[in-house]
Amino acid sequence: MKKILLITFLYCSLYINAQLNVGYQKPHASIQQLADVTPPPTLILDSKGETGILLYRNSFKTIDELSQPEMRLGGLRINPMANISSRQIYFYKASILDVKSGKEHEILGIPADAKLSTASWNNEEDKLAVLNTTQDKLELWIVDIKSKKAQKLIAGGLNSNLDRPYIWMKDDKNLLVKMLPENRKSLIDSKIQVPTGPTISESDGKEAQNRTYQDLLKNPTDEFNFELLATSELFLVDMKGTAKKWMNANMFGSINLSPDGKMILINQVEKPFSYIVPYNRFPNATNVYDLNGKLIKNVFNEPLSEVVPKGFSATTIGPRNINWRSDKAADLSWVEALDGGNPAEKAEYRDALYVLEYPYTSEKKLIHKTKDRFAGIQWGDNQNAIVYDSWYTTRSSRTTLINPSTPLEGTFTYNERNSQDVYSDPGNFVTEENSMGSNVLAMDKGHLFLIGEGWSAKGKFPFIDKVDLKTKTKVRLYESNLKERLETITTALDIRKGQYITRIEGKSEYPNLYIRDIEKGTSKQITFNKNPFEAIEKVHKEVINYKRGDGVELSGTLYLPVGYDKDKKEKLPMLMWAYPREFKDAATASQTTSSPYQFTSISSGSPLYWVARGYAVLDNAAFPIIGEGEKEPNDSFVEQLVGNAKAAIDAVDKLGYVDRERVAVGGHSYGAFMTANLLSHSNLFAAGIARSGAYNRTLTPFGFQSEERSYWDAPEVYNTMSPFMNAHKMKTPILLIHGEDDNNSGTFPLQSERYFNALKGLGATTRLVMLPKESHGYVAKESIMHMLWEQDQWLEKFVKNKKTDKTKFP
């Protein structure tokens, strides 16, 4: 007995000594200089392009902000004090931009410690509503554009836990607002709640193959707290702040005003709740009310959705995508599956599109049937609408012009393609506001308009096309071809005048917005953001193209340090960063969507910091995983992964820039999964960085990423692809970083913890860094700076100084 106790004590001592009490660190000055910059403001432009709201934010949250109270219920993360998402990104300042003069005007009255979010124009666009979050409440403010003043309309008590907490009414004199119930009960602290019995779940024999969701309800206490936080009363609030009760308490979700402003479509969550799916799959009711809050039509009561057929093209039975028909005053539209929602069922048509005309006394009317799964609609008028459908397994995408007044007749397939074939993308149809203020297809003299990205083998050339609705032919009105700059057409201001909002950028030219007049051939700059990354504006940047061993064409963006002499070709250490993507054919996998003229921007998770540290960086290296015909991409995942990596290293090595013995690989999420697999199955790298990954695929047994098969359908695929199952093959140093509160499906913190334990137990060189309070993406300044420090230390020791550094890692 004494021997057993002694062994236990020694084991605990060793475990404790293995933990390193390192406080938050800051990275090398050259990295910190690039990371700690102030982002430019966000612009909210009115529909005429005359007035904009500039919203300013900080680069990061703080660890103190992330440490505020948080409740995780039904797939949500809620600040229970202020009743808004605990992960909300806030703006601290707002100003008004006069586009014509370019002048920026201060908005008077906004509090100095403002935390602004959820801004929305009224219908006339002479006022802006915006939320302000304080320590313990949520306020509603109104900005008057003419006077340039802000006033507090509601001093607190708004509830933003389920969807947007307010909408403008059509008259602009009132808003419909979700408010906390007056006699609201207190939340229960589950940590001190005395259990009244066990938590029990059961199966009725039906398959319920759900992904591994996080932050789900776990017990009756969670159910109580969720219902409490989700419940609101609806009030009609005028511009003086006078509030009138409009509807009694319920768990109100989305609220949408009809195009004519006379009806309101409300979705509300109902019971029973579930412990295996998030709240958006709880039972819910969709109803139409008039402006007095009288129930006009119960559209659909959707049951609990725990059981859905297998496959990414699977869906629910009954009405879905219930919404207003935007070209009509108050007609409804929705979609219903014709195949039971089951992709495995053979069917000539998968979905049916219906409309229900106001006043909802007639039967629903069939408008169109889609060959594949419905993917959206853009209404135009009685004769014109655009319907989209797609099918995941084949990656097919279809765009169809329909005539809503002649159901099932007069349809025309405008475009049918592989959804991953960006070179043949026809673009997106332009919309504009109709007389009711709803977005409909922009039409002029029998023509529609398209804005396209314009990717091709030669580069990116954004375009504007005009489509004749009679002949179905198109004419190109504009194609961008700027010299050593990149243009993106973002919005149509006025198709009749040929005015569009575009974004223009260059390698070292920060993206700014312009008004482009394609009729006059002119452009006017409307934002003037400066480059915050001047320290690397002279880095060498090029898109390199190369081939994988099997002939698949690949590409990546290569960066070389400022001042690097390409003639001398000093052998540099290199960091390669990537993210695998699945394809159904080699042709689309070979397409390039990178431009050397894109602005060299650095986000918190970017690998580009190490250009400033003397590394070559190959960013966005193509890592296609291809499964043609009946083959699934993941059937040969490892072989293709290694083939992609080898081709990338060979390509840069052939240019003479790198020391291939000092190459590191890294990635985030599925890129971390990639990194661990590459280090397990090849000897191409000196070290790796894996952030917030999943390493044991048996913990995601009903599919992951783009894999539709379950573990029991393809156990050999799951096992072969799992780095955890191959931990004994790891011989390369790997740095694991993970947010302690990761909420992404599949990437539980447990994934990194168990993988680290396996690697450590098998003698691999590894380090596990768990970032407190962080989710799947890291946001606190302290966390990000420390993450950069960890990565820099790892790369300096195991890559740059691989041959000489014998010091112990901090």
Q: Which of 776, 783, 786, 792 is catalytic?
A: 776
CA atoms of 104 and 273, how far apart (whole Å):
49
Residue type at 321? N
Q: How far is CA 567 from CA 558, 571, 573, in A?
A: 16, 12, 17
Q: From the candidates 669, 706, 745, 783, which is the catalytic residue?
A: 669
Q: List CB contacts of 187: < 8 A, sequence separation 6 or more.
A: 71, 80, 225, 228, 229
Exposure string for 559-596, b = 16+ CB within 10 A, e = fewer: bbbeebeeeeeeebbbbbbbbbbbbbbebbbbbbebbb
776 flagged as catalytic: yes
* 143 residue type, one letter: V
> For the chain, how many residues are written?
810
Three-class SS of residue 349? coil
Name the 3-class secondary structure at 793: helix
Angle at 669 between CA 664 and CA 675, to 5 degrees: 30
Say how far apart CA 373 and CA 352 lie, in whole Å: 9
Distance CA 159, CA 251 (A): 11
Alpha-carbon span 207 to 133, nearest angstrom? 43
Q: C-alpha dihedral over 362, 367, 371, 376, to 10 degrees?
A: -100
- The helix-helix angle for 637-655 and 670-681 (nearest 10°) equals 80
* Nearest one of 771, 765, 774, 768 to 754, comparing CA atoms: 768
Active-site position among 222, 372, 659, 742: 742
Give the side-chain half-sphere CA count within 13 A for 430. Answer: 27
For residues 793 and 808, what is the distance between their CA atoms, to the nearest angstrom?
11
Alpha-carbon distance values, 484 to 159, 386, 561 (Å) = 48, 36, 20
CA–CA separation, 798 vs 33, rounded Å? 24
Contacts of 467 (CB under 8 A, 6+ apart): 414, 447, 448, 449, 450, 473, 474
67 tagged catalytic: no
To the query of whether residue 419 is one of the catalytic residues in this protein, the response is no
**Contact 331/324 with Cβ under 8 angstroms?**
yes
Residue 659's contacts (CB-CB under 8 Å, 6 or more residues apart) are 571, 572, 573, 574
> Cα angle at 70 between 69 and 76, to 5 degrees?
160
Tokens found for residue 758: 């396996």
Alpha-carbon torsion (533, 537, 540, 541), positive or negative: positive
Instruction: Please identify every residue annotated as catalytic.
Output: 669, 742, 776
